[in-house]
Amino acid sequence: MTTSDTAGICPVTVQPLEEGAPPRPVIDLDVHGEEFCARNYAIYDELLTTAPLAWSQRNGGFWMLTGYEPVFEATKDDDLFISSAGTGLPKDGQEALAPGTGPIPIEIDPPETQQYRKPVLGLLSPKTVAGMEPSIRQMADEFIDEFIESGEGDLVQQLSTPLPAKLSLRLLGMDEDRWPEFVAWIHTIIHGERAAAGEAQMALFGEVATVLESRAAMADKPEDVLTAIVTCQVNGETIGFVEQVRYVFLVLLGGMDTTSGLTGNTLERLARDPALRQRLVERRDLLRSATEEFLRVGTPTQGLARTLSRDAEFHGQHMKAGERVMLMWAAANHDPAEFADPHTVDLERTPNRHMAFGVGLHRCLGSNLARAMFQVMIDRVLDRLPDFELTVGEVPRFHDAGNVYAPTSFPVRFPPGPRVSPSTGPAAAGPAQ
Amino acid sequence: MRVTADTSQCAGHTLCNAAAPQVFDLDDEGYVVVLVEGDLPPELEGPAREAVAACPERVLSVVD
């Protein structure tokens, strides 16, 4: 019943899903697969031309939205495209995560979304984050100190992974020195096999529960994100304990690999484009606008899913209630209809209405902090090891780009430099030379 | 020329503030506050247009 075909790396066949149903552009795309991780941007480019809205039977079946306008409109329409049924797509052959265990408020629909977000907004606002900048800078310098004298290091494992993890734990009033354990749990939950992921989630939720209980029992609570979550009111009532755990889970999930992914993706561009790196070394005043461009071209959360709340015709496609939709922001960020020369990195691109943080009600709650952490890490690297050389041909990445598009490692060598802070203990001392 | 904002639809991207801080401020939660309600002085018109174009939510407008 094929009516038209395209060739290429992601062929499109227009066909009805069942006898008598309206035809739809059908593709065979697994967003959790290795093919997608290796060729995601080539796939986006092709689909932007052939089928900016296409149906894939993989991952439980989903509409793949790549065009800027459809992605924008769908993301803004929280009534038709709901979040409470889950924002991730299942792996082939698996069920989606059990409802009621995912992170919130990302999986809460309006009007409650705003009530959940309200108490945290001020704690992650541009003004608050500006006040945190010196401590972020100090943290970055301390992490760089641990390898700067040796002339080699791993900028993902020793800087962009630990810094956001440690800072997220600090925001939550948790033991920030335990960041390696939390990173391991989060990585297993996101990238591990289902059984291991379940165990890691249980372990993490157990830790979080303990911290929440002790905070709830505290008479004078410090003004921080954990207190905001423990005291969060929705519809006039304090949110339940499970909701509190899921909220902390979101802060940990959102805070860690995304910022590291943006930083790693950007370091790779700087490593492969000496002129681009030199421009940023010389013109650090461009870092603010450059951040938006790196968010556009190196979007770590490539997309998130929604679910149709009812049958609807959307951009010419007949969508059915209950069908999942992937809002592929990383693809939309390369749509030539919105961005001239989308593959050119223009550090001063104006305007730059990228959707790396999403748009609308669910837009990333930690975006101001993410930008600050990213800018500090890039600034410190360009100040302290501007001549870093990537020592591997291919940067290792998490295999599942459908979850996060991020390097797992970024080994470099560089002319050794001096520490800037005194050694703080055995962990930072390193071997004698 | 003046600018308007549908502040109820602001999602806190902060890009307007980056382009024209004298026209668009941010409140304590990071949402837009229009600083100049009336006609803009000529020197702010360029930055204001850039700020309006920068908004990913498309909730800022120029009124000529």
- Judge whether A361 is closer than 8 Å to chain B, CB to CB: yes
Query: Is the pTM of the predicted complex or chain greater than 0.80?
Result: yes
Q: Which tens digit of pLDDT belongs to each residue from A112-127?
A: 999 999 999 999 999 9
Q: Do A122 and B29 make contact, defined as CB atoms within 8 angstroms?
A: yes
Give yes or no for a contact between B30 and B14, defined as CB atoms under 8 angstroms apart.
Answer: yes
Confidence of residue A200 (pLDDT cuts 50, 70, 90): very high
In this complex, the residue of B12, B30, B53 whose CB is nearest that of residue A351 is B53
Confidence of residue A424 (pLDDT cuts 50, 70, 90): low
Confidence of residue A97 (pLDDT cuts 50, 70, 90): low
Where are chain B's structural domains? 2-59
Which CATH number is associated with domain B2-59? 3.30.70.20
> Is residue A394 packed enough to be buried (19+ CB in 10 Å), middle (13-18) or exposed (0-12)?
exposed
**Domains of chain A as residue ranges with CATH:** 2-413 (1.10.630.10)
Give yes or no for a contact between A279 and A347, defined as CB atoms under 8 angstroms apart.
Answer: yes
Chain B residues within 8 A of A124 when measuring between CB atoms? 30
In this complex, the residue of B15, B18, B28 whose CB is nearest that of residue A127 is B28
Average pLDDT on A313-337 reads 98
Using the Cα atoms of residue A399, residue A291, residue A280 and residue A382 in order, give the sign of their dihedral.
Answer: negative
Predicted pLDDT of residue A256: 86
Per-residue pLDDT at A207 exceeds 80: yes
Confidence of residue A433 (pLDDT cuts 50, 70, 90): very low
Q: Which tens digit of pLDDT belongs to each residue from A331-381?
A: 999 999 999 999 999 999 999 999 999 999 999 999 999 999 999 999 999
What does the mean pLDDT of chain A come to?
A: 94
Percent above pLDDT 90 for chain B: 97
Predicted pLDDT of residue A422: 78
Predicted pLDDT of residue A47: 98
Given the DSSP bridges, would you call strands A389-390 and A24-27 parallel, antiparallel or unpaired? unpaired
In this complex, the residue of B11, B29, B50 whose CB is nearest that of residue A360 is B11
Confidence of residue A98 (pLDDT cuts 50, 70, 90): low
Measured distance CA(A102)–CA(A84) in Å, rounded: 9
Chain B residues within 8 A of A121 when measuring between CB atoms? 12, 29-30
Average pLDDT on A194-223 reads 94
Predicted pLDDT of residue A403: 82
Q: Which tens digit of pLDDT belongs to each residue from B18-54?
A: 999 999 999 999 999 999 999 999 999 999 999 999 9
Tell me the backbone φ, ψ of residue B24, rounded to 5 degrees. -120, 115
Predicted pLDDT of residue A338: 98
- B54 phi-psi bin (left φ>0, alpha ψ -120 to 50, beta other): alpha
* Nearest partner of A370 among A406, A341, A325, A395, judged by Cα: A406
Residues 292-321 of A with CB under 8 A from B: 292
- Confirm whether the ipTM is greater than 0.90: yes
Residue with more model confidence, A99 or A188:
A188
Predicted pLDDT of residue A431: 45
Chain B residues within 8 A of A357 when measuring between CB atoms? 13
- Beta-strand ranges (E) seen in A148-238 are 152-154, 233-234, 237-238
Instruction: State both tokens at B9.
Output: 């639809």
Predicted pLDDT of residue A96: 66
Q: Which tens digit of pLDDT belongs to each residue from A29-83?
A: 999 999 999 999 999 999 999 999 999 999 999 999 999 999 999 999 999 999 9
